[in-house]
A = this chain, B = another copy of it.
Amino acid sequence: MNNPPNRKPAVVGADLYDPMLEPRYTDIATFMRAPLTSTLSNVDIGLIGIPTDLGVTNRAGARHGPREIRNASSLMRTFNLGLGVNPYRLCRIADLGDVRFSHRYDLGKQVEEIAAFYAAVHAAGIFPVSAGGDHSITYPIFKGIAAREPVGMVHIDAHTDTWGEFFRSKFTHGAPFRLAVEAGLLDPHRTIQIGIRGGQNFLEGIEFSRSHGMRVVFIEEFAEVGVDRVVAEARKVVGDGPTYISFDVDGLDPAYAPGTGTPEIGGITTLDAQRLLRGLRSLNLVGGDVVEVVHHSIRPAIQPSWELPLCSRFSV
Contacts from A to B (Cβ < 8 Å): 8-13, 17, 20-30, 36-40, 49, 51, 53-55, 57-61, 63-64, 66-67, 70-71, 75-82, 95-107, 109, 116-117, 120-121, 166-169, 171-172, 196-203, 206, 218-220, 223, 253-256, 258, 262-267, 269-271, 274-275, 295-296, 298, 300-301, 303-304
Contacts and interface: CB of A to CB of B under 8 A. Distances in A.
Contacts of A20: 201
B264 A78 contact: no
A300 B257 CA distance: 11
A21 B201 contact: yes
A12 to B, nearest CB: 4
A125 B66 CA distance: 36
A59 B265 contact: no
A223 B270 CA distance: 12
A85 B262 CA distance: 21
Contacts of A28: 28-30, 36, 70, 95, 97
Contacts of A255: 253, 255-256, 269-270, 301
A125 B208 CA distance: 40
B295 A102 contact: no
B253 A96 contact: no
Given A25-B59, A270-B266, A271-B267, A200 B79 contact: yes
Contacts of A269: 253, 255, 266
Contacts of A66: 26
17 contacts: A11-B39, A17-B100, A21-B201, A25-B59, A28-B30, A67-B71, A75-B263, A79-B200, A82-B220, A103-B168, A104-B169, A105-B168, A255-B269, A255-B270, A265-B303, A266-B271, A296-B296
